């Protein structure tokens, strides 16, 4: 896994803050790396920008896959959203296939068990006749 890339710079000129804060999150689960520019979100307070970035980093570190998918869901990038939807569809199709295979196995097991029960009932009936 790649590293998080964090860039943070804050300079104050005559009471006006110039803030640069971006974090590049590594590629996760088939997705490309994601770069978030926290300074573009409109806050002029470097502490607010840093806290927002830190909260996202903490969320990413707890569950990178979930954070990445949530970020994409809230994104305005339809290409990322389409890719996520396609990946989810593929995963769901694989789950359905697995469930179908499991159901087929279970049906065979039920048929074999029913045949065993029928055979045992026949043997028991024959035994009771004699």
From 74, 16, 75, 4, select the one nearest 45 (Cα to Cα).
Answer: 16
Q: Do residues 25 and 42 touch, judged by C-beta distance below 8 A?
A: no
pLDDT tens digits along 35-63: 999 988 766 789 999 999 999 999 999 99
pLDDT tens digits along 87-127: 999 999 999 999 999 999 999 999 999 999 999 999 999 88
Dihedral (CA of 40, 45, 49, 55) sign = negative
What are 10's two structure tokens? 């804050």
**Whole-model pTM over 0.75:** no
């Amino acid at each position: 896994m790649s590293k998080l890339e964090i860039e943070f710079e804050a300079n104050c000129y005559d009471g006006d803050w110039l803030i640069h804060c971006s974090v590049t999150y590594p590629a996760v689960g088939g997705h490309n790396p994601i770069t978030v520019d926290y300074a573009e979100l409109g806050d002029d307070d470097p502490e607010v920008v840093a806290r927002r970035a830190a909260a996202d980093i903490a969320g990413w570190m707890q569950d990178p896959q979930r954070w990445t998918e949530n970020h994409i869901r809230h994104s305005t990038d339809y290409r990322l959203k389409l890719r996520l939807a396609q990946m989810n569809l593929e995963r769901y199709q694989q789950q359905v296939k697995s469930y179908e295979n499991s159901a087929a196995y279970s049906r065979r097991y039920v048929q074999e068990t029913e045949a065993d029960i029928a055979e045992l009932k026949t043997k028991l009936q024959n035994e009771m006749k004699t």
